[in-house]
Structure 1
Protein backbone atom coordinates (compact mmCIF):
# COMPACT_ATOMS: atom_id res chain seq x y z
CA UNK A 1 0.00 0.00 0.00
CA UNK A 2 2.81 2.40 0.91
CA UNK A 3 4.49 1.72 -2.41
CA UNK A 4 1.25 2.52 -4.22
CA UNK A 5 0.88 5.83 -2.35
CA UNK A 6 4.50 6.76 -3.16
CA UNK A 7 3.95 5.88 -6.81
CA UNK A 8 0.85 8.10 -7.00
CA UNK A 9 2.68 11.03 -5.37
CA UNK A 10 5.58 10.72 -7.78
CA UNK A 11 3.18 10.55 -10.73
CA UNK A 12 1.18 13.60 -9.62
CA UNK A 13 4.33 15.65 -8.99
CA UNK A 14 5.66 14.77 -12.44
CA UNK A 15 2.62 16.21 -14.27
CA UNK A 16 3.58 19.55 -15.88
CA UNK A 17 1.75 22.45 -14.27
CA UNK A 18 0.49 25.35 -16.29
CA UNK A 19 2.06 28.69 -15.47
CA UNK A 20 0.27 31.46 -13.67
CA UNK A 21 -2.33 33.28 -15.73
CA UNK A 22 -1.20 36.51 -17.36
CA UNK A 23 -2.33 39.68 -15.60
CA UNK A 24 -5.07 41.48 -17.55
CA UNK A 25 -4.16 45.09 -18.37
CA UNK A 26 -5.70 47.81 -20.49
CA UNK A 27 -2.53 48.21 -22.55
CA UNK A 28 0.97 46.83 -22.89
CA UNK A 29 3.18 49.73 -23.96
CA UNK A 30 6.82 49.75 -25.08
CA UNK A 31 8.53 53.15 -25.00
CA UNK A 32 11.44 53.05 -27.47
CA UNK A 33 14.02 55.85 -27.01
CA UNK A 34 16.37 56.99 -29.77
CA UNK A 35 20.01 56.75 -28.60
CA UNK A 36 21.72 57.08 -32.00
CA UNK A 37 24.73 59.31 -32.62
CA UNK A 38 22.45 62.23 -33.54
CA UNK A 39 21.30 62.34 -29.90
CA UNK A 40 23.85 63.94 -27.58
CA UNK A 41 23.88 63.40 -23.82
CA UNK A 42 21.95 66.59 -23.11
CA UNK A 43 19.22 65.57 -25.55
CA UNK A 44 19.09 62.08 -24.03
CA UNK A 45 18.71 63.68 -20.59
CA UNK A 46 15.81 65.78 -21.89
CA UNK A 47 14.06 62.63 -23.10
CA UNK A 48 14.57 60.93 -19.74
CA UNK A 49 13.41 63.88 -17.63
CA UNK A 50 10.44 64.50 -19.90
CA UNK A 51 9.29 60.91 -19.64
CA UNK A 52 9.78 60.82 -15.86
CA UNK A 53 7.80 64.06 -15.44
CA UNK A 54 4.99 62.67 -17.58
CA UNK A 55 4.50 59.66 -15.32
CA UNK A 56 4.36 61.97 -12.29
CA UNK A 57 1.63 64.09 -13.84
CA UNK A 58 -1.78 63.62 -12.13
CA UNK A 59 -3.53 63.44 -15.51
CA UNK A 60 -1.34 60.52 -16.60
CA UNK A 61 -1.74 58.81 -13.24
CA UNK A 62 -5.51 59.14 -13.42
CA UNK A 63 -5.51 57.77 -16.95
CA UNK A 64 -3.54 54.70 -15.83
CA UNK A 65 -6.20 53.65 -13.34
CA UNK A 66 -9.32 54.75 -15.22
CA UNK A 67 -9.36 51.98 -17.80
CA UNK A 68 -11.42 48.79 -17.68
CA UNK A 69 -8.72 46.93 -15.76
CA UNK A 70 -7.19 49.95 -14.04
CA UNK A 71 -3.72 48.73 -14.96
CA UNK A 72 -1.14 49.07 -17.73
CA UNK A 73 2.17 47.41 -18.48
CA UNK A 74 5.19 49.54 -19.38
CA UNK A 75 8.68 48.70 -20.66
CA UNK A 76 11.42 51.03 -21.94
CA UNK A 77 13.92 50.21 -24.68
CA UNK A 78 16.96 52.15 -25.86
CA UNK A 79 18.05 51.67 -29.47
CA UNK A 80 20.24 52.93 -32.30
CA UNK A 81 21.88 50.72 -34.94
CA UNK A 82 20.79 47.44 -36.47
CA UNK A 83 22.25 45.41 -33.58
CA UNK A 84 22.02 47.99 -30.79
CA UNK A 85 18.85 47.58 -28.73
CA UNK A 86 18.69 47.19 -24.95
CA UNK A 87 15.89 46.80 -22.43
CA UNK A 88 16.48 49.77 -20.12
CA UNK A 89 13.44 49.20 -17.86
CA UNK A 90 11.88 45.76 -17.74
CA UNK A 91 8.12 45.31 -17.79
CA UNK A 92 6.41 47.10 -14.93
CA UNK A 93 2.78 46.82 -13.86
CA UNK A 94 1.21 50.20 -13.08
CA UNK A 95 -2.09 50.36 -11.20
CA UNK A 96 -2.00 53.85 -9.74
CA UNK A 97 0.01 56.90 -8.63
CA UNK A 98 2.46 55.01 -6.41
CA UNK A 99 3.48 52.67 -9.24
CA UNK A 100 3.77 55.60 -11.66
CA UNK A 101 5.94 57.55 -9.21
CA UNK A 102 8.19 54.53 -8.72
CA UNK A 103 8.54 54.14 -12.47
CA UNK A 104 9.36 57.85 -12.80
CA UNK A 105 12.15 57.45 -10.24
CA UNK A 106 13.47 54.43 -12.11
CA UNK A 107 13.42 56.32 -15.41
CA UNK A 108 15.27 59.26 -13.85
CA UNK A 109 18.01 56.92 -12.60
CA UNK A 110 18.20 55.07 -15.93
CA UNK A 111 21.69 55.23 -17.46
CA UNK A 112 22.31 55.60 -21.17
CA UNK A 113 23.29 52.11 -22.33
CA UNK A 114 23.83 52.99 -26.01
CA UNK A 115 26.00 55.98 -26.81
CA UNK A 116 26.27 56.00 -30.58
CA UNK A 117 25.19 54.30 -33.78
CA UNK A 118 23.01 54.69 -36.84
CA UNK A 119 19.21 54.98 -36.87
CA UNK A 120 17.58 51.59 -37.35
CA UNK A 121 13.93 52.21 -36.57
CA UNK A 122 13.08 48.95 -38.36
CA UNK A 123 15.20 46.73 -36.14
CA UNK A 124 14.10 48.63 -33.04
CA UNK A 125 10.49 47.90 -33.98
CA UNK A 126 11.16 44.17 -34.27
CA UNK A 127 13.10 44.11 -31.00
CA UNK A 128 10.25 45.97 -29.28
CA UNK A 129 7.66 43.59 -30.73
CA UNK A 130 9.56 40.56 -29.44
CA UNK A 131 9.72 42.05 -25.95
CA UNK A 132 5.97 41.48 -25.48
CA UNK A 133 6.56 37.73 -25.43
CA UNK A 134 6.35 36.23 -21.96
CA UNK A 135 5.93 39.53 -20.12
CA UNK A 136 3.25 38.06 -17.85
CA UNK A 137 0.55 40.48 -19.03
CA UNK A 138 -2.35 40.32 -21.43
CA UNK A 139 -3.54 43.67 -22.70
CA UNK A 140 -6.52 44.72 -24.73
CA UNK A 141 -3.98 46.60 -26.83
CA UNK A 142 -0.28 46.23 -27.51
CA UNK A 143 1.46 49.45 -28.54
CA UNK A 144 5.01 50.44 -29.48
CA UNK A 145 5.75 54.10 -28.81
CA UNK A 146 8.61 54.85 -31.24
CA UNK A 147 10.56 58.09 -30.67
CA UNK A 148 13.22 59.22 -33.15
CA UNK A 149 14.87 62.36 -34.52
CA UNK A 150 15.75 60.88 -37.92
CA UNK A 151 14.76 58.45 -40.64
CA UNK A 152 15.59 54.75 -40.83
CA UNK A 153 19.07 54.54 -42.39
CA UNK A 154 20.33 51.05 -41.51
CA UNK A 155 19.13 47.51 -41.07
CA UNK A 156 15.94 45.92 -42.29
CA UNK A 157 13.69 47.73 -44.75
CA UNK A 158 11.24 49.83 -42.73
CA UNK A 159 8.23 48.63 -44.76
CA UNK A 160 9.06 44.98 -44.05
CA UNK A 161 9.59 45.60 -40.34
CA UNK A 162 6.35 47.56 -39.99
CA UNK A 163 4.38 44.86 -41.82
CA UNK A 164 5.78 42.14 -39.54
CA UNK A 165 4.92 44.08 -36.40
CA UNK A 166 1.41 44.96 -37.58
CA UNK A 167 0.80 41.30 -38.50
CA UNK A 168 1.14 40.50 -34.77
CA UNK A 169 -1.71 42.87 -33.92
CA UNK A 170 0.63 45.48 -32.43
CA UNK A 171 -0.05 49.19 -32.98
CA UNK A 172 2.89 51.48 -33.78
CA UNK A 173 2.61 55.10 -32.68
CA UNK A 174 5.30 57.66 -33.40
CA UNK A 175 6.93 60.60 -31.69
CA UNK A 176 8.79 62.56 -34.35
CA UNK A 177 11.42 64.93 -32.94
CA UNK A 178 11.84 67.48 -35.73
CA UNK A 179 15.23 68.64 -34.50
CA UNK A 180 17.02 68.29 -37.84
CA UNK A 181 14.27 66.94 -40.12
CA UNK A 182 11.38 69.46 -40.44
CA UNK A 183 9.18 66.91 -42.23
CA UNK A 184 9.97 63.92 -40.03
CA UNK A 185 6.34 63.61 -38.93
CA UNK A 186 5.35 63.06 -42.57
CA UNK A 187 7.95 60.27 -42.80
CA UNK A 188 6.47 58.68 -39.68
CA UNK A 189 2.96 58.91 -41.11
CA UNK A 190 4.01 57.30 -44.38
CA UNK A 191 6.47 54.62 -43.24
CA UNK A 192 6.51 54.03 -39.49
CA UNK A 193 3.15 54.14 -37.74
CA UNK A 194 0.31 51.70 -38.27
CA UNK A 195 -2.38 49.64 -36.61
CA UNK A 196 -5.59 50.46 -34.82
CA UNK A 197 -5.94 54.19 -34.12
CA UNK A 198 -2.22 54.81 -34.78
CA UNK A 199 -1.01 58.41 -34.64
CA UNK A 200 2.14 60.53 -34.70
CA UNK A 201 2.91 63.12 -32.03
CA UNK A 202 5.37 65.91 -32.87
CA UNK A 203 8.11 67.58 -30.82
CA UNK A 204 9.66 70.53 -32.61
CA UNK A 205 12.94 69.94 -30.73
CA UNK A 206 14.22 68.19 -27.61
CA UNK A 207 13.10 71.01 -25.35
CA UNK A 208 9.57 70.35 -26.61
CA UNK A 209 9.88 66.60 -25.99
CA UNK A 210 8.42 66.81 -22.47
CA UNK A 211 5.22 68.33 -23.85
CA UNK A 212 5.02 65.83 -26.69
CA UNK A 213 5.61 62.72 -24.56
CA UNK A 214 2.93 63.89 -22.12
CA UNK A 215 0.40 64.35 -24.93
CA UNK A 216 1.33 61.04 -26.47
CA UNK A 217 1.05 59.04 -23.26
CA UNK A 218 -2.25 60.68 -22.34
CA UNK A 219 -3.75 59.97 -25.74
CA UNK A 220 -2.58 56.36 -25.61
CA UNK A 221 -3.73 55.70 -22.05
CA UNK A 222 -7.09 57.42 -22.49
CA UNK A 223 -7.39 56.41 -26.16
CA UNK A 224 -8.20 60.02 -27.03
CA UNK A 225 -9.11 60.52 -30.72
CA UNK A 226 -6.34 62.08 -32.80
CA UNK A 227 -8.23 65.33 -33.35
CA UNK A 228 -8.59 65.86 -29.60
CA UNK A 229 -4.94 65.60 -28.62
CA UNK A 230 -3.37 68.81 -29.87
CA UNK A 231 -4.58 71.05 -27.04
CA UNK A 232 -3.47 68.85 -24.15
CA UNK A 233 -1.05 70.38 -21.68
CA UNK A 234 0.66 68.75 -18.72
CA UNK A 235 -0.30 69.85 -15.22
CA UNK A 236 3.05 71.56 -14.63
CA UNK A 237 2.24 73.98 -17.46
CA UNK A 238 -0.88 75.22 -15.66
CA UNK A 239 1.17 75.74 -12.52
CA UNK A 240 3.75 77.67 -14.52
CA UNK A 241 1.11 80.00 -15.96
CA UNK A 242 -0.06 80.83 -12.43
CA UNK A 243 3.41 81.99 -11.38
CA UNK A 244 4.57 85.58 -11.46
CA UNK A 245 6.67 86.60 -14.52
CA UNK A 246 9.96 86.60 -12.58
CA UNK A 247 9.18 83.13 -11.18
CA UNK A 248 8.56 81.81 -14.70
CA UNK A 249 11.99 82.93 -15.84
CA UNK A 250 13.62 81.08 -12.96
CA UNK A 251 11.67 77.91 -13.76
CA UNK A 252 12.83 77.71 -17.37
Structure 2
Protein backbone atom coordinates (compact mmCIF):
# COMPACT_ATOMS: atom_id res chain seq x y z
CA UNK A 1 0.00 0.00 0.00
CA UNK A 2 2.83 2.40 0.85
CA UNK A 3 4.34 1.80 -2.58
CA UNK A 4 1.03 2.66 -4.22
CA UNK A 5 0.79 5.88 -2.22
CA UNK A 6 4.34 6.90 -3.09
CA UNK A 7 3.70 6.16 -6.76
CA UNK A 8 0.58 8.26 -6.67
CA UNK A 9 2.46 11.12 -5.04
CA UNK A 10 5.02 10.99 -7.82
CA UNK A 11 2.26 11.20 -10.39
CA UNK A 12 0.99 14.35 -8.72
CA UNK A 13 4.30 16.07 -9.45
CA UNK A 14 4.43 15.41 -13.18
CA UNK A 15 5.38 18.14 -15.61
CA UNK A 16 2.89 20.84 -16.59
CA UNK A 17 0.49 19.74 -19.30
CA UNK A 18 0.50 16.10 -18.28
CA UNK A 19 -2.56 14.46 -16.75
CA UNK A 20 -2.43 14.42 -12.95
CA UNK A 21 -3.56 11.22 -11.29
CA UNK A 22 -5.89 11.35 -8.34
CA UNK A 23 -4.89 9.34 -5.29
CA UNK A 24 -7.51 6.78 -4.18
CA UNK A 25 -8.50 7.24 -0.53
CA UNK A 26 -11.13 5.67 1.69
CA UNK A 27 -12.62 9.03 2.63
CA UNK A 28 -12.09 12.70 1.89
CA UNK A 29 -13.03 14.26 5.23
CA UNK A 30 -13.26 18.00 5.76
CA UNK A 31 -13.49 19.24 9.37
CA UNK A 32 -15.23 22.61 9.80
CA UNK A 33 -14.59 24.52 13.06
CA UNK A 34 -17.02 27.17 14.33
CA UNK A 35 -15.24 30.50 14.95
CA UNK A 36 -18.32 32.73 15.24
CA UNK A 37 -18.79 35.37 17.93
CA UNK A 38 -20.44 32.86 20.26
CA UNK A 39 -17.16 30.93 20.46
CA UNK A 40 -14.69 32.60 22.83
CA UNK A 41 -10.96 31.93 22.71
CA UNK A 42 -11.08 29.31 25.46
CA UNK A 43 -13.81 27.43 23.60
CA UNK A 44 -11.81 27.59 20.38
CA UNK A 45 -8.83 26.10 22.21
CA UNK A 46 -11.00 23.30 23.57
CA UNK A 47 -12.11 22.48 20.01
CA UNK A 48 -8.53 22.48 18.74
CA UNK A 49 -7.17 20.41 21.63
CA UNK A 50 -10.03 17.94 21.43
CA UNK A 51 -9.56 17.41 17.71
CA UNK A 52 -5.77 17.09 18.04
CA UNK A 53 -6.08 14.55 20.85
CA UNK A 54 -8.55 12.54 18.80
CA UNK A 55 -6.02 12.09 16.01
CA UNK A 56 -3.44 10.93 18.57
CA UNK A 57 -5.75 8.24 19.90
CA UNK A 58 -4.73 4.67 18.92
CA UNK A 59 -8.32 3.78 17.94
CA UNK A 60 -8.49 6.68 15.48
CA UNK A 61 -5.06 5.87 14.10
CA UNK A 62 -6.08 2.26 13.59
CA UNK A 63 -9.33 3.38 11.91
CA UNK A 64 -7.35 5.53 9.46
CA UNK A 65 -5.71 2.38 8.12
CA UNK A 66 -8.79 0.16 8.33
CA UNK A 67 -10.33 0.76 4.90
CA UNK A 68 -9.58 -0.88 1.55
CA UNK A 69 -6.96 1.72 0.65
CA UNK A 70 -5.58 2.27 4.15
CA UNK A 71 -5.30 5.99 3.37
CA UNK A 72 -7.58 8.96 4.12
CA UNK A 73 -7.61 12.60 3.11
CA UNK A 74 -8.14 15.35 5.71
CA UNK A 75 -8.55 19.12 5.61
CA UNK A 76 -9.63 21.68 8.23
CA UNK A 77 -11.45 24.97 7.71
CA UNK A 78 -12.49 27.76 10.08
CA UNK A 79 -15.71 29.69 9.50
CA UNK A 80 -18.21 32.17 10.94
CA UNK A 81 -20.34 34.58 8.89
CA UNK A 82 -21.28 34.47 5.22
CA UNK A 83 -18.03 36.29 4.35
CA UNK A 84 -15.62 34.56 6.69
CA UNK A 85 -14.31 31.10 5.80
CA UNK A 86 -10.75 29.99 5.25
CA UNK A 87 -8.61 26.88 4.93
CA UNK A 88 -6.70 26.34 8.16
CA UNK A 89 -5.03 23.06 7.16
CA UNK A 90 -4.91 22.14 3.46
CA UNK A 91 -5.69 18.67 2.19
CA UNK A 92 -3.19 16.00 3.14
CA UNK A 93 -2.92 12.22 3.19
CA UNK A 94 -2.92 10.15 6.36
CA UNK A 95 -1.58 6.64 5.89
CA UNK A 96 -0.63 5.71 9.45
CA UNK A 97 0.12 6.83 13.01
CA UNK A 98 3.04 9.06 12.06
CA UNK A 99 0.85 11.05 9.66
CA UNK A 100 -1.90 11.29 12.26
CA UNK A 101 0.52 12.51 14.93
CA UNK A 102 1.90 15.13 12.56
CA UNK A 103 -1.60 16.34 11.75
CA UNK A 104 -2.44 16.45 15.47
CA UNK A 105 0.57 18.67 16.08
CA UNK A 106 -0.53 20.99 13.27
CA UNK A 107 -4.05 21.20 14.65
CA UNK A 108 -2.79 21.86 18.18
CA UNK A 109 -0.62 24.72 16.89
CA UNK A 110 -3.29 26.11 14.58
CA UNK A 111 -4.04 29.80 15.28
CA UNK A 112 -7.53 31.22 15.26
CA UNK A 113 -7.81 33.12 11.99
CA UNK A 114 -11.45 34.23 12.35
CA UNK A 115 -12.25 36.05 15.58
CA UNK A 116 -15.84 37.13 15.16
CA UNK A 117 -18.90 36.96 12.94
CA UNK A 118 -22.40 35.58 12.71
CA UNK A 119 -23.20 31.88 12.25
CA UNK A 120 -23.54 31.02 8.57
CA UNK A 121 -23.53 27.24 8.45
CA UNK A 122 -24.97 27.47 4.93
CA UNK A 123 -22.11 29.49 3.47
CA UNK A 124 -19.56 27.40 5.35
CA UNK A 125 -21.04 24.27 3.75
CA UNK A 126 -20.72 25.75 0.27
CA UNK A 127 -17.13 26.86 0.94
CA UNK A 128 -16.32 23.39 2.24
CA UNK A 129 -17.88 21.72 -0.79
CA UNK A 130 -15.78 23.82 -3.16
CA UNK A 131 -12.58 22.84 -1.37
CA UNK A 132 -12.94 19.22 -2.54
CA UNK A 133 -12.32 20.37 -6.12
CA UNK A 134 -8.79 19.74 -7.30
CA UNK A 135 -7.54 18.26 -4.03
CA UNK A 136 -5.76 15.45 -5.89
CA UNK A 137 -7.78 12.71 -4.22
CA UNK A 138 -10.59 10.39 -5.20
CA UNK A 139 -12.41 9.05 -2.18
CA UNK A 140 -15.00 6.34 -1.85
CA UNK A 141 -16.79 8.94 0.28
CA UNK A 142 -16.67 12.72 0.54
CA UNK A 143 -17.79 14.03 3.92
CA UNK A 144 -18.12 17.45 5.54
CA UNK A 145 -17.86 17.29 9.33
CA UNK A 146 -19.69 20.47 10.43
CA UNK A 147 -19.32 21.62 14.06
CA UNK A 148 -21.33 24.54 15.44
CA UNK A 149 -22.80 25.88 18.67
CA UNK A 150 -25.71 27.74 17.09
CA UNK A 151 -28.24 27.77 14.28
CA UNK A 152 -27.73 29.30 10.86
CA UNK A 153 -28.53 33.01 11.30
CA UNK A 154 -26.97 34.70 8.28
CA UNK A 155 -26.27 34.14 4.61
CA UNK A 156 -27.90 31.63 2.30
CA UNK A 157 -30.91 29.63 3.39
CA UNK A 158 -29.67 26.43 5.04
CA UNK A 159 -32.05 24.23 3.01
CA UNK A 160 -30.74 25.64 -0.28
CA UNK A 161 -27.10 25.22 0.74
CA UNK A 162 -27.64 21.68 1.97
CA UNK A 163 -29.39 20.72 -1.26
CA UNK A 164 -26.54 22.11 -3.36
CA UNK A 165 -23.92 20.21 -1.36
CA UNK A 166 -25.85 16.94 -1.44
CA UNK A 167 -26.30 17.31 -5.22
CA UNK A 168 -22.51 16.98 -5.51
CA UNK A 169 -22.57 13.62 -3.76
CA UNK A 170 -21.04 15.02 -0.57
CA UNK A 171 -22.33 13.75 2.78
CA UNK A 172 -22.91 16.27 5.59
CA UNK A 173 -22.41 15.07 9.15
CA UNK A 174 -22.84 17.35 12.14
CA UNK A 175 -21.52 17.96 15.62
CA UNK A 176 -23.93 20.08 17.64
CA UNK A 177 -22.40 21.80 20.68
CA UNK A 178 -25.45 22.39 22.89
CA UNK A 179 -24.07 24.76 25.52
CA UNK A 180 -26.32 27.64 24.39
CA UNK A 181 -29.01 25.79 22.43
CA UNK A 182 -30.06 22.57 24.25
CA UNK A 183 -32.02 21.36 21.21
CA UNK A 184 -29.34 22.12 18.66
CA UNK A 185 -28.90 18.42 17.94
CA UNK A 186 -32.52 18.31 16.74
CA UNK A 187 -31.86 21.32 14.48
CA UNK A 188 -28.85 19.52 13.01
CA UNK A 189 -30.89 16.38 12.41
CA UNK A 190 -33.68 18.30 10.68
CA UNK A 191 -31.83 20.97 8.72
CA UNK A 192 -28.08 20.42 8.47
CA UNK A 193 -27.06 16.80 7.96
CA UNK A 194 -27.80 14.84 4.81
CA UNK A 195 -26.58 12.16 2.44
CA UNK A 196 -25.95 8.44 2.69
CA UNK A 197 -25.78 7.36 6.35
CA UNK A 198 -25.41 10.95 7.56
CA UNK A 199 -25.55 11.46 11.31
CA UNK A 200 -25.30 14.18 13.94
CA UNK A 201 -23.14 13.78 17.03
CA UNK A 202 -23.86 15.88 20.13
CA UNK A 203 -21.70 17.56 22.81
CA UNK A 204 -23.32 19.11 25.86
CA UNK A 205 -20.60 21.80 26.03
CA UNK A 206 -17.08 22.53 24.81
CA UNK A 207 -15.45 20.31 27.44
CA UNK A 208 -17.57 17.42 26.17
CA UNK A 209 -16.54 18.28 22.59
CA UNK A 210 -13.36 16.18 22.97
CA UNK A 211 -15.43 13.03 23.51
CA UNK A 212 -17.93 13.91 20.78
CA UNK A 213 -15.30 14.61 18.11
CA UNK A 214 -13.59 11.31 18.94
CA UNK A 215 -16.83 9.37 18.50
CA UNK A 216 -17.61 11.24 15.32
CA UNK A 217 -14.20 10.70 13.73
CA UNK A 218 -14.21 7.02 14.61
CA UNK A 219 -17.64 6.49 13.06
CA UNK A 220 -16.65 8.40 9.92
CA UNK A 221 -13.27 6.76 9.43
CA UNK A 222 -14.53 3.26 10.12
CA UNK A 223 -17.83 3.91 8.30
CA UNK A 224 -19.64 2.13 11.11
CA UNK A 225 -23.42 2.17 11.69
CA UNK A 226 -24.84 5.04 13.71
CA UNK A 227 -25.99 2.70 16.50
CA UNK A 228 -22.47 1.77 17.59
CA UNK A 229 -21.19 5.31 18.01
CA UNK A 230 -22.39 6.71 21.33
CA UNK A 231 -20.82 4.07 23.57
CA UNK A 232 -17.34 4.60 22.17
CA UNK A 233 -14.90 6.28 24.55
CA UNK A 234 -11.50 7.81 23.80
CA UNK A 235 -8.39 6.67 25.64
CA UNK A 236 -8.31 9.92 27.65
CA UNK A 237 -11.89 9.56 28.98
CA UNK A 238 -10.89 9.86 32.64
CA UNK A 239 -7.96 12.21 32.05
CA UNK A 240 -7.84 15.98 32.06
CA UNK A 241 -7.62 17.67 28.69
CA UNK A 242 -4.10 19.03 28.54
CA UNK A 243 -2.10 20.45 25.63
CA UNK A 244 0.21 17.93 24.00
CA UNK A 245 3.84 18.63 25.03
TM over 0.5: yes
- Give 1:48's aligned residue: 48
What TM-score, normalized by structure 1, do the two folds share? 0.88
- Give 1:216's aligned residue: 216
- Count of equivalent residues: 227
Write the distance in 2 (CA, Å) between the matches of 1:163 and 1:81: 19
Write the distance in 1 (CA, Å) between the matches of 2:103 and 2:83: 27
User: What 5-or-longer segments of structure 2 have no aligned partner?
Assistant: 1-15
Deviations 1:125-158 (A, max 9, x none): 0000000000000000000000000000000000
Write the distance in 2 (CA, Å) between the matches of 1:48 and 1:220: 19
Deviations 1:170-202 (A, max 9, x none): 000000000100000000000000001000000
Shift of 1:48: 0.1
The root-mean-square deviation of aligned C-alpha atoms, in Å, is 1.4
- Give 2:92's aligned residue: 92
Write the distance in 2 (CA, Å) between the matches of 1:250 and 1:217: 18
Write the distance in 1 (CA, Å) between the matches of 2:228 and 2:67: 18
Write the distance in 2 (CA, Å) between the matches of 1:42 and 1:220: 27
Write the distance in 1 (CA, Å) between the matches of 2:114 and 2:151: 18
Deviations 1:84-137 (A, max 9, x none): 001000001000000000000000110000000000000000000000000000
Q: Which 4+ runs in 1 deviate beyond 4 A?
A: 248-251
Q: How does 1:199-214 map to 2 (within 5 A)?
A: 199-214=199-214
Between Structure 1 and Structure 2, whose CA radius of gyration is higher?
1
Shift of 1:17: 3.9
Q: 1:202 to 1:249 in 2, by over 3 A?
A: closer
Write the distance in 1 (CA, Å) between the matches of 2:183 and 2:34: 17
- Give 2:107's aligned residue: 107
Cα pair 2:49 2:241 within 8 Å, conserved? no
Write the distance in 1 (CA, Å) between the matches of 2:92 and 2:241: 35
- Give 1:63's aligned residue: 63
User: What 5-or-longer segments of structure 1 have no aligned partner?
Assistant: 1-15, 241-247
What TM-score, normalized by structure 2, do the two folds share? 0.91
Q: 1:53 to 1:250 in 2, by over 3 A?
A: closer
Shift of 1:249: 8.0
Shift of 1:19: 2.4
